[in-house]
Structure 1
């Protein structure tokens, strides 16, 4: 499959990614999506997309970072293919692009978290050579 993956730079490109991201993140609202992405870009977040016929069918949100336990790494916040376009190799293409982009950025690792309920995603990641290496814990912080 020949596909071009691009970084969403314009508001229109970012907005076009919303329907795909919404499949993974249904709590997000469309009117707030572009402003949210713009705020996250200040923390190095980038949104990449694979388009078919001018429309995004797979989207990845990622950031390049560096820390003590991992060194320089790429963290993938979001990786999703439009449900109507799954099982066509788009996820594999996007993950391959992310690996190349991480290598070009000098990263030694590509990391992501996946919800424990996403068994199909876990099988995909393992088929693509990723290892399950940790558990991720969280604790809500009560607001006012």
Structure 2
């Protein structure tokens, strides 16, 4: 199969809401996701997708910033590939494409968070050259 990797315009973020909904196992409603992405599209955010023809089968958000410890960086957010597209090397190709894309934009590093219990993702990111640098702490307000 031939897949296409691309950045979609922030005006088209509605296209990724079903995948982010799947990723969050329906813990966040579709209505709330739409509201949040309507706000996100006006921030320092881009969205990369994997297309199988015109169908979005993978997604990640890209948050761009400058970090005091590495300089210009990108944080990957809501990385998700639909289950029936996994274990085919597509994730690696997507990460390679993202790496090249953000490098061209002048980024010095890529970082991300993954859930503690998501062991398959840990193995994947280790294999992609990521290192664990710390813990992500969270507090609801």
Normalising by structure 2, we get a TM-score of 0.87
Q: Gaps spanning 5+ residues in structure 2: where?
A: none
Contact 1:7 1:47 in 2 (8 A): yes
Contact 2:73 2:107 in 1 (8 A): yes
Deviation for aligned residue 1:2: 4.2
Q: Gaps spanning 5+ residues in structure 1: where?
A: none
Moved over 3 A (4+): 31-35
Q: Give me the whole-angstrom Cα distance separating, in 2, the residues matched to 1:96 and 1:55.
A: 21
Aligned residue number for residue 67 of structure 2: 67
Aligned residue number for residue 95 of structure 1: 95
List per-residue Cα deviations over 1:51-102 (Å, max 9, x = no partner).
1121011101111110212311011112110112211222112211211111
Aligned residue number for residue 31 of structure 1: 31
Contact 2:10 2:47 in 1 (8 A): no
1:54 aligns with 2:54: yes
Residues matched between the structures, number: 140
Secondary structure class of the residue paired with 1:36: helix
Q: Give me the whole-angstrom Cα distance separating, in 2, the residues matched to 1:109 and 1:84.
A: 30
Deviation for aligned residue 1:118: 0.7
Contact 1:65 1:74 in 2 (8 A): yes
The alignment's C-alpha RMSD in Å is 1.9
Q: Give me the whole-angstrom Cα distance separating, in 2, the residues matched to 1:88 and 1:22.
A: 23
Mean Cα displacement is larger for which, 90-99 or 117-126?
90-99
Q: Give me the whole-angstrom Cα distance separating, in 1, the residues matched to 2:21 and 2:95.
A: 19
Aligned residue number for residue 45 of structure 1: 45
